[in-house]
Every structure is written in structure tokens, then in C-alpha cells.
A and B are shown apart, each in its own frame.
Chain A
Amino acid sequence: MSTHIKILKQVIQKYSSPMTLNYPSSIDKKRMYSQIPEGLRGFLERDEEKCVGCRACYMVCSGRATKIFDTADKRTVQVFHFRCTYCAHCEECCPEDAIKLTSKFELAVTDRNDPKAYVNTDLKMLSCKACNKPYLPEKMQKRVFERLSEKINPKVKGVVVEDYHKTEGFCPECKRVRGVLLDTHTKKHIWLEVV
């Protein structure tokens, strides 16, 4: 009986102020609309400017939500929200910081193919000069070159950049065939004074 009285006291205390959120309606300003904790991992957003299509997110995706489709002139990087587990591995590993998990979470669709359930980024593909096969997004090649020239030892930079321009526009296969043209080819035994 004493527990009943204890419960009754609590019941009466809170009678006039229920703890229910105001969720679907935003009119009542007195009560909270919805509770979004700090650091909530919601749907991801991809910055189309920054994304280079490097497939890093595809490699780490735990729910296999990220898929990559290559066609003749474009690469589509796609995230399917239905399969996404919000693990944020892609956000962690993205070399260009293009992927951000937002705090948006509202989504209810009636169709699997609803465009709202997908995040797509289209990238222009480069085709090989020799064999005409698509091999790399244009942006990625540019960005790889930029990174390379930033990080490389300044003493060998000239030779490497020259070599890069020699085989620019060839797919890895064709590049291998033309490898003998390069000054940095291992068989040429070019001795660079690297300290």
C-alpha cells in the first residue's frame, strides 16, 4: 500500500505537465518539438564539388549501401539510404572530406525507387586515348596529380611531373605498355641523387 501512495504522489505531481514531446506539430512553443541529441548520425550528405570518386567510401561501407556504377562517360557514386547503417566509416575515411553525416533523419517513402532514398554524385569519366575504355574520373586524376606534386621530394619532382605528362590520358593497361618511354622506368637505372 505504501508503494501505491508513493506512486500516487508522483502521478499527481506530474499530472498537469506530461513529458510527451510535441513531435509532428511545431505550433506549441511551450513544449519541446523533438529531441535531437548532439552528434546524432543521420542521413549523409555528399559535397558534389569535393567528391572525386576515389571509391574509398565504397571499400569501407559496412552495410554495402555505397555502390559505384561506371558507364562510358560518367561514374555514379550512390548511397542507398535503405541499406545505410550510419556507421560514419565513409565520413572518417573520405580523403577529400566530401561526406558529412547530417542530423536530418525524417524519411518515409512509399517506393523503393524514390529519389529521396538515394544520394547520387555523377562524375565525368576519362576515356583512354589508346583503347577508348573509361578508366578514371577526371577530377580524381587532377586531384591525384595535385597531391603527388605537393608531397613529392622536390629533387625528383621535375622528372616525375614530366613523366606524368608523357602518359597522361592513358588507362593503367596502356600506361604499362608505354612504361618504357618514362624516365622513371625502373629498367633505365637512372640514378637520382636522393639524400
Chain B
Amino acid sequence: MVDHVFTILSIALIIPISLFLGVMYSFLIRKLSARFQWRVGPIVRMYGDLAPVIGSTRIWQPLYDILKLFGKDALIPSTAHKRLFTWSPYLSLFFSFAAVLFIPFPGLPLLSGTPYSLIIASYLLIASILFTILGPAASGSPWGAIGARREVELFLVAELSFVASLFVVAVTKGTLVISELAGFVGSIPMMLVTALAGITMFAAMLGKLHIKPFDMPEAECEIVAGPYTEYSGKLLGTYFLAKVFVLYNMVALFIAVFLPPLSSSVLWLPLYVVAALVLIFLLAVVHVLNPRYTIAKALMWYTKIIVPLVIVGFIAAFFLRVVA
């Protein structure tokens, strides 16, 4: 009974925490990439003479964007499949939020102790991205269709390396429960395999979060806004909210899988934050330094470099398990 109450309480607590952290991460990516491009970016302390008119800070910029979209009209194109078009943003949000519950946060284990929670979390994340493909494909707009197609192509390779690198860790540690990953201390070759899986997981994150070399699904200068072209108002806001949760999920999952002790206890919270910031910093650096790949080049990059790496890791992990 006490356990259930604690779980419910922690679920109630994770909603604001995940929203806060997701918004913070997306703000940091925007701010850091702005500073790398020699500009200021969303301003942290507004100029004193302008503050009374346009607000004193822009730290909550991603949240303001979403809130503003909720205050606007939503247009539904006449060519769209109405039910699928209007429901997919909400389903995308639902699944990305559901994934939050299966990924532990320092001090809040949530549902990460349920059997097969690693598989559940990755499936929920995949489902969230699936609905960013289905909605635009139902919009009847050519730009939405092209964006959805690109998203599918990227999804195939990025998702493959994402899931495979999760399984490399699962095989080395011999468990599919996220909360049990922390208790396992492996030998040095196992750590090396885990580190390899970490690198491939990072590469998969780039594709899933549309970080710069792989942002062709929403390439603004080529295909209008890609999947989001026909979306407006609160439907678009819901998609953006889902994106915020996905960003939080990816970072939290990365830490939970590859640095498992950090999300096991409240005492690790400072280190957890540091690890998250380092990850965000790396994402921002990659975002700034790279041009956008064509879809063919991205596929080649994944299939020629990342997927073989994951397979090597997988074989090594399997070998280690069998030998040990």
C-alpha cells in the first residue's frame, strides 16, 4: 500500500520535473547553439529598459512557444483525414509522456522496476515518433507527406541503432529492467562494450531528436516545415510539447542506461544534472558544427558506420556473456 502511494506521489511529482527539465534542455540547446553562432540567443536577463514591456527573462522560451500555440486557432485542411490528423498529436504526447514514467529520475524510481521496462520505454518512445509520422501523412499536404517519408527513412536506421545499442547493454548486464542496471558492476571489457554502445546510442539520439546533420525531416529551406507544415494552433503546440518530453526522455534514458548509478538515489542528483548538461552541450556542439545531410547520405552514414559498430558491440557482448 505504501509502495503504491509512493509511486502515485512520484508520478505526480515527475510531471512538473520532466516538463521543467525538458524545457530547460531545449532552451539550453537553443542558447548554446546561438552562442556558438556568435549571437546572443534567447536572452537570460532582459535589458533593463525593455523588461517592463516584453518580460524580464526568456529562459522559458520553449514553454512560451507552446503556450502561445495553445492560444491560437487550429486550422484543419479540407484534404486531411480528420480523425487521424487531430488525434495523432495527442497520442504522440501521450506516448512520450508515458515513457517518462518508465525512466528513473534520481530519488524517483517510478515504474522502472516493472519487468521489461527497458523494452516498454523504448517502445513508447518509438510509438511517440510513429505518431509524428502518421499525423502529417494524414494531412494531405505534399510537404507533410515528404516530411513524413523522410522521417520514416530516418526512423528506420536511427531506431535500429537505438534499440540495438540498448540491447547491447541489456545483454552485457543480463537484464531488461532499467532499475536493475544500476546494481550490476561488470569487468573492464564489459565497460568498453557499454561505452561503445553509448557512442552508438548518442548517434541514434541525433537522428531521433533531429539534431543538425539529421534534421532533414523538418528542413525549413527545402520542404516548408516538413511533418508540421499543416499543423497549427494547439495541435502544433501538442507536438512541440511531445518533443520536449522526448528530449527529456532521451537524456534521462541515456543516463539511466549508460550511467545507471546516477539515477538511483537523490544523493546523485547534482551529478545527474552535470551529466545531463554535458550531454546537452555535446548535442548543441554537434548541432552547430554540422550541415544538413541529404537523406541518402544520412542513411549511408548510419548503415555504414553506426549499424556495423552496434553489430560489433552486440557480438562482443554476446561473446562476453557466453564466456563469462
Contacts and interface: CB of A to CB of B under 8 A. Distances in A.
Q: State yes or no: do A and B touch (Cβ within 8 Å).
A: yes
B289 A18 contact: no
A22 B288 contact: no
A24 interface: yes
Contacts of B50: 24-25
Given A19-B39, A22-B47, A28-B47, 5 more contacts: A4-B289, A15-B35, A19-B38, A25-B49, A27-B48
Nearest to A4: B289
Interface string A6-45: 0110010011001110101111100000000000000000
Interface of B: 34-36, 38-40, 47-50, 285, 288-290
Contact of B47 (A7, A8, A11, A27): A27
Interface string A151-185: 00000000000000000000000000000000000
Nearest to A14: B38
A18 B40 contact: yes
Nearest to B32: A15
Candidate in B34, B38, B50 with the most chain A CB atoms within 10 angstroms: B38
A15 B34 CA distance: 9
Contacts of B290: 4
A30 B289 CA distance: 29
B39 A15 contact: no
Contacts of A19: 38-39
Contact of B36 (A11, A20, A28): A11
A9 to B, nearest CB: 11
Contacts of B40: 18, 20
A24 B52 CA distance: 13
23 contacts: A4-B289, A7-B288, A7-B289, A8-B289, A11-B36, A11-B289, A15-B36, A18-B34, A18-B35, A18-B38, A18-B40, A19-B38, A19-B39, A20-B38, A22-B47, A24-B50, A25-B47, A25-B48, A25-B49, A27-B47, A27-B48, A27-B49, A28-B47
Contacts of B48: 25, 27
Nearest to A23: B47
Contacts of A7: 288-289
Interface size class of A (residues with CB under 8 A): 10 to 19
A14 B40 CA distance: 11
A36 B20 CA distance: 42
Contacts of A15: 35-36
Contacts of A25: 47-50
Nearest to B286: A4
A28 B40 CA distance: 14
A24 B289 CA distance: 30
Nearest to A12: B36
A22 B47 CA distance: 9
A25 to B, nearest CB: 3
A25 B47 CA distance: 6
B238 to A, nearest CB: 33
A27 B47 CA distance: 7
Contacts of B47: 22, 24-25, 27-28
A28 to B, nearest CB: 7
Contacts of A8: 285, 289
Nearest to B50: A25
A35 B38 CA distance: 17
A19 B49 CA distance: 21
A147 B285 CA distance: 71
B288 A11 contact: yes
Given A7-B289, A8-B289, A20 B49 contact: no
A15 B39 CA distance: 9
Contacts of B285: 8
A18 B39 contact: yes
B35 to A, nearest CB: 6
B90 to A, nearest CB: 38
Contacts of B38: 14, 18-20
A24 B35 CA distance: 19
Contacts of A24: 47, 50
Contacts of B49: 25-27
A22 B285 CA distance: 25
A62 to B, nearest CB: 34
Interface in A37-63: none
What 3 A-B pairs are tightest by C-beta distance, nearest first?
A25-B47, A11-B36, A20-B40
A11 B35 CA distance: 8
Interface string A132-147: 0000000000000000
B32 to A, nearest CB: 9
